[in-house]
Amino acid sequence: MSESSIKKKSKLDYKLKSGLNYRLMTAVLFWCGLIVMASMYLTIPLISVFSTSFNLSPNEAAWTSTIFCLFFAAGCLIYGPLSDRYGRKKIILIGMALLTVVSPLVGLFDNIGWIIALRAVQGLVAATFSPVALAYIMEMFPDAKKLTATGFLVTGFLMAGIIGQVISSFINQYLSWNFVFGIMGIAYFITVFIVMAFLPCDNIQRPKISVIGAISKMGSLFKIKLLVLTYAVDIMLLMSMMCMYTALGYYLTEPQFGLNTQEILYVRAVGLIGILFASATGVLAKKFHFFNILIVGLIIASISQIMLGLVSNVILLTALSVIFVAGIAVATPNVIELIGQLGGNARGSALSIHTVILFIGAGLGPILATNMLTTGIDSLPYIMMGIILIIGVGLSILIKRSYNMEEQRGFEN
């Protein structure tokens, strides 16, 4: 294609994009991210319920969360390449329709084996959204609006961590755990029509590549040292958040606090305040550079996480949980930005791996929390996660220095 043809095509693409309502598109993606990812967190408040109802240990009951995350992570490797072939919106719509069917089925069984199996299917289906939505933003939004749209999408993902728990706790308290999944199925049914009506189609010509071919090419990304280090930081984010909320649910029921289900629900809900900081990431990154915001966010999260294990006042615990969530919320979009840059031409594959790694961490969080709580040391989950996040700070500083050195070499050459 000649240079003049390329310029004409870019002008045409700009004109087509300039007619889109980006605020509405961002709002739809935010809602989808919130409602889809809420499914991941639905069973965290239900771990004690499943443990009692089915005579399970907390570790065994925690598999209702972990299995979702593991199958979600596996699905992320598949749906990115599928959306390359068949279109982003089409894959998102198919996934939403399948969630409408699968979600209510989870609540129809009073057998823990079937519940875990259907949660695995639910996780596999839910994976149709996250990596595909990130790729959709990269293609459909102009450069000036991409980071803001990503920030709002991540806000939806992180808010889901609290909203999912709040919805689940509320419905379980007034109805039963079975109704949680039926009501979510209704929400997905409504969302299908929202996506159909308000999310523009991505009619873009893309190079055709098989799913197996795309997955095999992802392995080459692990040869990029800085990208591997970034993935190491990536896995810490949701792992520490899931671990914190799982431990907090048990911690606040102890005699020294004696909070009931409703009161714990309020503590979880207050965490939403911290998540709102993710939507401001675009503005903060432009002013202070995304590397600095990433490091500061991790420092805030690590310190507040450790302090959670050292205080025994409900008000302080609630305040520290908000500060912790704010740190994670600020760090996450900047990790995505860094992965996108380090991935280069393979940005889409790099972001697919990011989604896999992020939610493997989310799956490990509840397991780590319940195992550490068996030691009888209530502060252990918070202190250990805080130390892990401090390591994340060190890795981020190392990545920043190496990244800047490589940029300087590029300019010199």
Give yes or no for a contact between 329 and 322, defined as CB atoms under 8 angstroms apart.
no
3-state helix, strand, coil in the chain (%, to 5): 85, 0, 15
Residue with tokens 């808010």: 159
Task: Tell me, yes or no, whether 411 lies in a domain.
Answer: no
Exposure on the CB side of residue 384, measured as CA atoms within 13 A: 16
Residue 51: count of CB within 10 angstroms of its CB:
18
Assigned domain for 25 exists: yes
Distance from chain centroid for Cα 342 = 20
> What is d(CA 75, CA 66) in angstroms, rounded to the nearest whole number?
14
The alpha carbon torsion through 34, 356, 90, 148 (nearest 10 deg) reads 50
**C-alpha closest to that of 267 among 192, 325, 338:** 325
Written as one string, the DSSP assignment of 354-406 is HHHHHHHHHHHHHHHHHHHHTTT-TTHHHHHHHHHHHHHHHHHHHHHHHHHHH
Residue 296: give its domain's CATH number: 1.20.1250.20
Query: Angle formed by the axes of helices 130-140 and 22-41, to 10°?
Result: 170
Q: Which domain holds residue 289?
A: 20-406
Name every residue whose Cβ is closer than 8 Å to that of residue 341 and which is 6 or more positions away in sequence: none
> According to the model, what pLDDT value does residue 16 have?
44
* pLDDT tens per residue, range 28-63: 999 999 999 898 888 888 888 888 888 888 778 888
Tell whether 12 is covered by a domain: no
9 in a structural domain: no
What is the C-alpha separation between 162 and 175, in angstroms, rounded?
20
pLDDT of residue 411: 42
Residue ranges for the chain with pLDDT beneath 70:
1-20, 204-217, 255-256, 261, 278-283, 285-286, 345-348, 407-413
Angstrom distance (rounded) from CA 321 to CA 315: 10
The whole-number pLDDT of residue 300 equals: 92
- Give the alpha-carbon dihedral of 269, 275, 279, 280, to 10 degrees: 120
In a domain, 7, yes or no: no
Is 310 contained in some domain? yes
Asked if residue 1 belongs to a domain, the reply is no
Element (H, E) at 133: helix 130-140
**CA gap 165, 177 in Å, rounded:** 12
SS (H, E, C) 33-79: HHHHHHHHHCCCCCHHHHHHHCCCCHHHHCHHHHHHHHHHHHHHHHH
Helices H / strands E in the chain, number of each: 19, 0
Q: Do 249 and 48 touch, CB atoms closer than 8 A?
A: yes
Instruction: Please name the residues in contact with 171: beta carbons below 8 A apart, sequence gap of 6 or more.
Output: 177, 179, 180, 183
Instruction: Say what the pTM is.
Output: 0.72
Q: In the prediction, which pLDDT does 34 show?
A: 92
Domain assignment present for 412: no
| Residues 19, 37 contacting (CB under 8 angstroms) | no
* Domain tally, the chain: 1
Cα 230 to Cα 331: distance, rounded to the nearest angstrom:
12
Q: Give me the pLDDT at residue 205, please.
A: 63
